[in-house]
C-alpha cells in the first residue's frame, strides 16, 4: 500500500507538469484554433535561457530566472504569435500544424547546434528531503512541484472567471465575432492567451528540468504526452487538460511499476485510442458541432 | 577507344581494387565514428576531445612515420543504423583505422562493415558479445563486462558481505550484456537478486524504478545504465531517501554523472576500468592536460580514446607502414608498456580476440570526486 501511495503521489507531481503543457494546448486552441506542436520544445527552451544567463553572463540564479521569464514571454508568446501564427491563421489549421512542427525541430536542433547536445544539470528549486506520510516516504520536491503547478492552474482559473480581462478572453474563445461586436479587443485577448501559454511553459520548464536534466531533446516526450493529455481530458476545457495530465502521470508510474517498464510509453497511446473510440470529446470536454 | 586506352583503364581499376592495403602517401586518415548527438553525446564528446588532443600531440611531434594524421569525426547520432552508414562512409573516405563507437548496439551492427573491408576498429564498447563474434579487426579500449563484473562481485561478497542485490539496468546491448554477466556472477557466489529492474535509453522519469528497487529490501542496489540515465536514477534515489548502499561499474561513477547528479552521487562505490583520479603518473598528467585544454574533467571514455590514439601510433611505427592488415595482426597478443610508448599511460595487453587487459580500480565518490580505494591487478 505504501508503494502504491508513493507511486501515486510521484505520478501526480509529474502529471501536474504534463497538465501545465496540456493547458497551453487547450488555451491556444480555444483562443485562436492553434495547435502548437512545438509545445514540448517551448518547455525545453526556458531552462536553457536560465542556464545561458548563469553560465555565459555570470548572472545569479534568481536574476537569470527573471530574465528567462521575460525572454519566454517575448519569444514564445509575443514573437511566436506575431511571426508564425498571425500570418498563417487565415490559411487554416493545417499550415499552422506544419509550421509548429518545423518550429519545434528548429528549436531542438538550434539548442543542439549552438548550445550543447549533452544533458546539463539544472539547479533544484526545492529541498531533496523526504517526509513520512502515512508510512510512505514522499519527497518534498514532489509535493512542492504538485502544489506549485496546481496553484498556477487555480490562479489561471481565478483570472479567467474573476476578472474582466479573463471574461473577455473567454468571450473571445467562445465567439470572436460576437465578442468583437460587443467591444472586446479580440486581438489583444488572443495575445494574452499566447503570453499565458509562454508563462506556463516557463513554469513547466523550471519544475521539470531539475528532475529530467536540461537537454535539447526533452521536448519530444513532453510535447507528445501533453498533447495526449489534452485530448484525453478534453481539448476544449482547462479542467479537462488538468485531469488528463494528472491521469497520465499516475498511469505512467503505475504501469511502469505493475505492468512493464518496457511498455510504459505505449500506455498513454492505448489510453488515447480508447478515449477517441469511446468518448471523442475527452473525459471532461464538450462535444463541438461543426457546420458543413 | 584504343586497346591501349582500355588496358590503361583496366590497370587503373585493378590498382584501385587493391587500395585498402597500400600504404598512405600524404596523410594517415583516422575515422572517429562516435556519438556526438543523441543519448550518447556525453560520452562521445569526451572521446572526441581526448582523441583530438592525442593526435594534435602526435602531429606536433612529427606524426606517424613522418606522416601527419588527419582525423575526421563521423556522428553516429547514437543510432545503430546511422553508425553503420558512417562506418561505410569512413571506409569510402579511406580510413586507415576506425576509432569508436562506444555504444555496444552501434558496434554490433557496424563492426561487420569494418570487418568485410579489413579495417581495424578500436571501440569503447563494453558488451561481452563484441569480442565473441570472431572478428579479427575489432579491439577493445576498455574491459568487457564479463571481465569487470567478477572483480565487482568479489568486492561485494568478500568486503561488503552483501547477501542480496537489487539490479537496475538499461535495456540495450550494453545494459543487457552487463546485467547478464553481473547476475551470472551473483548466482555463482550465492547472492540473491531481489529485484531486476530494466529501463529504457533516454528514460527521464525513474520514480517507479526507484520505488521497486527500494521496496525490494535488498542489501545493496547495483545500477548499470548510461551516464545521463545514471544521473537521473541517482537523483531520484536521493529524492526518495533510499538508504541502501549503491554500487556500479564504470559508468555510474563517471565524471559526467558526478557533474550531472551533484551531491546525489556521493557515497556510490564500484569498479572502474579507468579513472582520471587513478594514482598512475601517466593518467594524472593526461588529466591535467585535458582539463587545461577543455576546462572540464575527463572521464574514462576520454582516457580510452587517448590511449587508442597512441596504440595506432605505436603499432604503425612498429610495423613501419600504415597497413590495415599488418595493424590488426600486430595488435593481437601485444602488450604495450609506458616505457615503450608513454601515451599508452599504463601497461595494456590485447589477447587473440581483441580483449583488453590491464590493472583496474575500486573507487568511491566522495565530495563529488572519484576516489580510488584500491588498485586491482591484471587478470
Rounded to an integer, the average pLDDT of B365-371 is 91
The partner residue sitting opposite A117, judged by closest CB among B37, B171, B261, is B37
Q: Average pLDDT of B328-353?
A: 97
Do the chains contact at A117 and B38, CB–CB below 8 Å?
Answer: yes
Which of A43, A47, A109, A119 best tests the B interface by mutation, with the highest count of B CBs <10 A?
A119
Asked whether the beta carbons of residue A211 and residue B240 sit closer than 8 angstroms, the reply is: no
Instruction: Name the β-bridge partners of B362.
Output: B271, B374
Are B10-143+280-358 and B146-272 in the same CATH fold?
A: yes
Q: Which residue has the higher pLDDT, A255 or B31?
A: B31
Question: Can you give the pLDDT at residue A98?
Answer: 96
C-alpha distances in angstroms, A60 versus A208, B48, B222, B347, B352?
20, 32, 37, 46, 56
- Per-residue confidence band for B132, with pLDDT thresholds at 50, 70 and 90: very high
Chain A residue numbers with beta carbons less than 8 Å from the beta carbon of B262 are 121
Considering CB atoms only, which of A3, A11, A213 is closest to B231? A213
Question: CB-CB: which of A14, A117, A128 is closest to B239?
Answer: A128
Q: Edge-to-edge strands of the sheet including B68-75?
A: B68-75, B27-34, B97-99, B121-123, B138-140
Of B112-121, B150-159, B162-171, which gets the smallest average pLDDT? B150-159
Contact B207 A212 (CB under 8 A): no
Whether B231 sits inside 8 A of A119 (CB atoms) is yes
Q: Which segments of chain A have a pLDDT < 50? A: 290-292
Confidence of residue B9 (pLDDT cuts 50, 70, 90): low
Asked if residue B25 has pLDDT above 80, the reply is: no
Whether residues B212 and A112 touch (CB distance < 8 A) is answered with: no
Q: In B, which residues are within 8 Å of A139 by CB distance? A: 239-241
Pairwise CA distance, residues A217 & A67, whole Å: 23
Average pLDDT, chain B: 91
Q: Where are the domains of chain B?
A: 10-143+280-358, 146-272
Whether residues A119 and B209 touch (CB distance < 8 A) is answered with no
The pLDDT, as a whole number, for residue A131 is 86
- Tens digit of each residue's pLDDT (9 = 90 or more) over B228-249: 999 999 999 998 889 999 999 9
CA distances from A145 to A26, A156, A229, B9, B211 (A): 21, 17, 18, 72, 19
Closest residue in B to A255 (Cα) is B208
Between A2, A10, A221, which is nearest B207 by CB?
Answer: A10
Q: How many CB atoms lie within 10 A of CB A149?
A: 28
Backbone angles phi, psi at B377, to 5 degrees: -70, 170
pLDDT score at B7: 53
Q: What is the mean pLDDT of residues B311-333?
A: 97
Would the CB atoms of B260 and A14 count as touching at under 8 Å? no
* The three three-digit cell numbers of residue A21, written as one number: 503543457
Is there a contact between B239 and A261 if contact means CB atoms under 8 Å apart? no
Size of the A and B interface in Cβ pairs below 8 Å: 93
Predicted confidence (pLDDT) per residue in B73-129, tens digit? 999 999 999 999 999 999 999 999 999 999 999 999 999 999 999 999 999 999 999
CA–CA dist A25, A35 (Å, integer): 6
Phi (first) and psi of residue B86, to 5 degrees: -70, -35
Top CATH class of B10-143+280-358 equals alpha beta
DSSP state of B67: B
Mutation to test the A interface, candidates B200, B205, B227, most A Cβ within 10 Å: B205
pLDDT at A203: 96
Cβ A262–B198 below 8 Å, yes or no? yes
Terminal-to-terminal C-alpha distance of chain A:
53
A118 contacts B45? CB cut-off 8 A: yes
ipTM over 0.85: no
Are B209 and A11 an interchain contact pair (Cβ–Cβ within 8 Å)?
no
Q: Which of B120-124, B250-254, B286-290, B291-295 has the lowest mean pLDDT?
A: B250-254
pLDDT band at B24 (very low <50, low <70, confident <90, very high): very low
| Residue A110 vs residues A41, A48, A179, A216, B188: alpha-carbon distances, Å | 11, 11, 39, 9, 50
Chain A hits for B212, Cβ within 8 Å: 257
Superfamily assignment of B146-272 in CATH?
A: Response regulator (3.40.50.2300)
B30 membership: H or E segment, kind and range? strand B27-34
Cell numbers representing residue A278 in the block: 469511446
Question: B209: distance to nearest CA of chain A, Å?
Answer: 7
Residue of A nearest to B196 (CA): A261
Task: Quote the CA–CA distance of B318 and A218 in Å, as a whole number.
Answer: 48
Length of chain B in terms of residues written: 379
Which chain B residues have a beta carbon less than 8 Å from that of A215?
228
Beta-sheet strands, E only, within A33-182: 130-133, 136-139
pLDDT at A237: 84
Best of A109, A116, A118, A262 to disrupt the B interface (most B CBs within 10 Å) is: A118
Residue B265: DSSP 8-state: G
Q: Beta strands B192-199 and A136-139: pairing type?
A: unpaired
H/E element, A281: none
Sequence-distant (≥ 6) Cβ neighbours of residue B219 within 8 angstroms: B162, B163, B164, B165, B244, B245
Closest CA to B196 of B188, B186, B205, B204: B186
- Looking at residue B80, what is its pLDDT? 95
Q: Please, are residues A202 and A196 in contact by the beta-carbon 8 Å criterion?
A: no
**In this structure, are residues A44 and A72 in contact, taking their beta carbons and an 8 Å threshold?**
no
CA distance A268 to A242: 15
Residues A202-215 pLDDT 10s: 999 999 999 899 99
Q: Do B42 and A119 touch (CB under 8 A)?
A: yes
Q: How far is B208 from chain A (nearest CA, A)?
A: 5
Optimal mutation site among B211, B212, B230, B296, interface A, most CBs of chain A within 10 A: B211
Note the pLDDT of residue B223.
97
B positions 161-220 inside 8 Å of A (CB): 171, 197-200, 202, 204-205, 207-209, 211-212, 215
Q: Mean pLDDT, to the nearest integer, of B214-238?
A: 94
Amino acid at each position: 500500500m505504501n508503494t502504491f501511495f508513493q507511486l501515486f503521489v510521484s505520478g501526480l507531481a509529474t502529471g501536474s507538469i504534463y497538465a501545465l503543457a496540456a493547458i497551453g494546448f487547450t488555451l491556444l486552441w480555444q483562443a485562436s484554433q492553434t495547435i502548437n506542436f512545438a509545445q514540448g520544445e517551448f518547455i525545453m527552451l526556458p531552462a536553457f535561457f536560465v542556464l545561458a544567463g548563469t553560465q555565459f553572463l555570470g548572472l545569479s540564479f534568481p536574476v537569470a530566472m527573471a530574465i528567462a521569464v521575460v525572454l519566454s514571454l517575448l519569444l514564445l508568446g509575443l514573437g511566436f504569435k506575431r511571426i508564425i501564427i498571425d500570418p498563417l491563421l487565415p490559411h487554416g489549421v493545417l499550415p499552422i500544424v506544419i509550421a509548429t512542427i518545423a518550429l519545434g525541430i528548429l528549436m531542438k536542433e538550434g539548442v543542439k547546434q549552438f548550445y550543447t547536445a549533452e544533458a546539463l544539470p539544472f539547479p533544484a528549486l526545492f529541498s531533496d528531503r523526504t517526509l513520512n506520510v502515512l508510512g510512505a516516504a514522499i519527497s518534498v520536491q514532489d509535493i512542492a512541484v504538485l502544489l506549485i503547478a496546481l496553484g498556477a492552474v487555480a490562479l489561471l482559473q481565478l483570472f479567467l472567471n474573476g476578472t474582466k480581462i479573463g471574461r473577455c478572453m473567454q468571450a473571445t474563445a467562445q465567439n470572436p465575432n460576437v465578442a468583437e461586436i460587443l467591444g472586446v479587443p479580440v486581438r489583444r485577448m488572443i495575445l494574452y492567451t499566447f503570453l499565458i501559454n509562454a508563462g506556463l511553459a516557463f513554469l513547466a520548464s523550471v519544475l521539470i528540468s531539475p528532475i529530467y536534466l536540461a537537454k535539447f531533446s526533452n521536448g519530444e516526450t513532453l510535447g507528445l504526452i501533453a498533447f495526449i493529455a489534452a485530448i484525453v481530458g478534453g481539448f476544449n476545457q482547462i479542467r479537462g487538460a488538468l485531469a488528463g495530465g494528472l491521469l497520465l502521470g499516475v498511469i505512467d508510474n503505475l504501469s511502469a511499476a505493475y505492468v512493464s517498464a518496457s511498455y510504459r510509453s505505449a500506455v498513454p497511446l492505448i489510453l488515447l485510442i480508447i478515449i477517441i473510440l469511446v468518448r471523442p470529446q475527452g473525459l471532461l470536454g464538450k462535444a463541438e458541432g461543426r457546420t458543413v | 577507344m584504343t586497346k591501349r586506352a582500355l588496358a590503361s583503364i583496366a590497370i587503373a581499376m585493378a590498382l584501385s581494387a587493391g587500395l585498402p592495403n597500400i600504404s598512405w602517401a600524404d596523410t594517415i586518415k583516422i575515422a572517429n565514428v562516435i556519438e556526438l548527438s543523441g543519448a550518447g553525446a556525453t560520452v562521445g564528446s569526451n572521446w572526441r576531445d581526448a582523441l583530438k588532443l592525442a593526435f594534435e600531440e602526435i602531429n606536433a611531434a612529427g606524426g606517424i612515420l613522418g606522416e601527419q594524421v588527419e582525423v575526421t569525426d563521423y556522428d553516429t547520432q547514437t543510432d545503430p543504423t546511422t553508425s553503420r552508414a558512417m562506418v561505410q562512409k569512413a571506409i569510402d573516405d579511406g580510413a586507415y583505422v576506425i576509432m569508436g563507437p562506444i555504444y555496444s548496439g552501434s558496434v554490433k551492427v557496424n563492426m561487420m562493415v569494418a570487418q568485410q573491408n579489413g579495417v581495424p576498429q578500436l571501440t569503447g564498447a563494453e558488451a561481452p558479445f563484441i569480442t565473441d563474434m570472431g572478428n579479427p579487426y575489432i579491439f577493445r579500449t576498455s574491459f568487457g563486462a564479463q571481465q569487470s563484473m567478477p572483480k565487482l562481485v568479489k568486492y561485494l561478497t568478500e568486503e561488503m558481505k552483501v547477501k542480496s542485490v537489487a539490479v537496475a539496468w538499461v535495456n540495450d546491448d550494453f545494459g543487457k550484456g552487463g546485467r547478464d554477466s553481473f547476475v551470472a556472477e551473483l548466482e555463482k557466489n550465492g547472492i540473491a537478486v531481489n529485484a531486476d529492474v530494466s529501463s529504457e535509453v533516454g528514460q527521464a522519469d525513474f520514480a517507479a524504478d526507484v520505488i521497486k528497487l527500494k521496496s525490494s529490501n535488498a542489501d545493496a542496489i547495483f545500477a548499470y545504465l548510461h551516464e545521463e540515465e545514471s544521473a537521473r536514477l541517482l537523483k531520484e534515489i536521493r529524492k526518495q531517501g533510499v538508504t541502501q548502499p549503491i554500487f556500479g561499474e564504470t559508468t555510474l561513477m563517471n565524471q559526467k554523472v558526478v557533474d550531472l547528479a551533484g551531491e546525489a552521487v556521493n557515497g556510490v562505490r564500484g569498479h572502474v576500468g579507468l579513472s582520471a583520479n587513478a594514482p598512475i603518473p601517466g593518467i594524472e598528467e593526461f588529466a591535467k592536460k585535458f582539463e587545461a585544454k577543455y576546462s572540464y574533467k575527463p572521464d574514462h571514455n576520454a582516457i580510452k580514446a587517448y590511449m587508442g590514439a597512441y596504440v595506432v601510433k605505436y603499432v604503425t611505427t612498429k610495423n613501419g607502414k600504415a597497413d590495415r592488415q599488418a595493424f590488426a595482426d600486430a595488435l593481437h597478443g601485444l602488450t604495450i608498456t609506458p616505457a615503450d610508448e608513454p601515451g599508452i599511460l599504463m601497461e595494456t595487453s590485447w589477447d587473440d580476440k581483441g580483449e583488453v587487459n590491464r590493472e583496474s580500480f575500486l573507487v568511491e565518490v566522495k565530495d563529488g570526486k572519484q576516489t580510488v580505494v584500491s588498485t586491482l591487478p591484471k587478470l
